[in-house]
């Protein structure tokens, strides 16, 4: 499907705004709204603080348990939405396989350093690696390479990215600690 006005922009219009799934734009919209919620509202400040310093937030009168439950419920809802996007976009029916995408999502979280912009960059990186694996089947010069190498390429790229960049990644300080 084409995005009505943006698909007519020279050069980048056909590349980015034509023949795209509506679920892609839905996910990018949800990402932008999540970023605004987390970084431009007092609610987002409180939610992030519950992961870093819950006792400081509690001393300010915020219910840490309620905020953490909200965070868990929203992350579960977004994970479910991600699963439905896979279902709608890739197969159109339930087939019981996700081909390790849960591993890639956790790797994107770590590689993106628990920040929405970093996670977006990590998912674009992993998406490009997956696209290379999928497109390799139709490029004649790559047909001499056994297909199994391209099937494992996204996962090898993920492992290499984690090995190279996870040293600088730091989870929220109180993540996983009971309050």
Please give the radius of gyration of the chain, using alpha carbons only, rounded to the nearest integer: 19
Distance CA 56, CA 143 (A): 58
Kindly report, residue by residue over 138-176, the tens digit of the pLDDT.
877 877 888 888 888 888 888 888 888 777 778 888 888
pLDDT digits (tens, 9 = 90+) for 42-71: 999 999 999 999 999 999 999 999 999 999
- Say yes or no to pLDDT of 73 above 90: yes
The predicted pLDDT at position 47 comes to 94
DSSP-H helix ranges across the chain:
12-16, 22-40, 42-52, 54-59, 64-86, 101-111, 116-135, 147-165
Instruction: Name the pTM for this structure.
Output: 0.77
Q: What's the pLDDT score for residue 92?
A: 63
Q: Considering the chain, what is the average pLDDT of its residues?
A: 84
Looking at residue 37, its pLDDT comes to 95
Six-digit token pair at 163?
A: 């090995």
The residue among 159 and 99 whose pLDDT is bigger is: 159
> What's the confidence (pLDDT) of residue 9?
84
Mean pLDDT of 78-84: 83
Confidence bin at 103 (pLDDT 50/70/90):
confident
Task: Output the DSSP codes for 73-100.
Answer: HHHHHHHHHHHHHHIIIIISS--S--TT
Q: Would you state the pLDDT for residue 95? A: 63
pLDDT, position 94: 62
78: left (phi over 0), alpha (psi -120 to 50) or beta: alpha
> DSSP for 122-134?
HHHHHHHHHHHHH
pLDDT of 98 higher than 70: no
Let me know: does 64 contact 54? Beta carbons within 8 Å. yes
Which of 46-50, 99-103, 113-117 has maximum average pLDDT? Answer: 46-50
Q: Between these two residues, 87 and 49, which has the higher pLDDT value?
A: 49
């Amino acid at each position: 499907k084409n995005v009505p006005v943006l698909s007519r922009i020279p050069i980048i219009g056909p590349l980015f705004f034509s023949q795209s799934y509506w679920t892609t734009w839905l996910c990018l919209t949800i990402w932008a709204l999540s970023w605004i919620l987390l970084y431009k509202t007092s609610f987002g400040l409180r939610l992030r603080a519950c992961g870093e310093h819950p006792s400081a937030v509690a001393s300010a009168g915020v219910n840490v348990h309620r905020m953490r439950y909200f965070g868990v419920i929203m992350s579960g809802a977004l994970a479910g939405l991600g699963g439905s996007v896979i279902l709608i976009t890739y197969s159109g029916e339930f087939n019981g396989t996700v081909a390790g995408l849960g591993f890639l999502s956790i790797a994107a979280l770590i590689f993106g350093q628990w920040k929405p912009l970093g996670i977006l960059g990590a998912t674009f990186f992993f998406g490009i690696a997956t696209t290379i694996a999928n497109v390799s089947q139709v490029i004649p010069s790559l047909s001499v390479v056994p297909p199994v190498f391209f099937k494992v390429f996204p996962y090898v790229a993920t492992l290499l990215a984690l090995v190279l960049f996870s040293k600088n990644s730091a989870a929220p300080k109180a993540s996983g600690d009971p309050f």
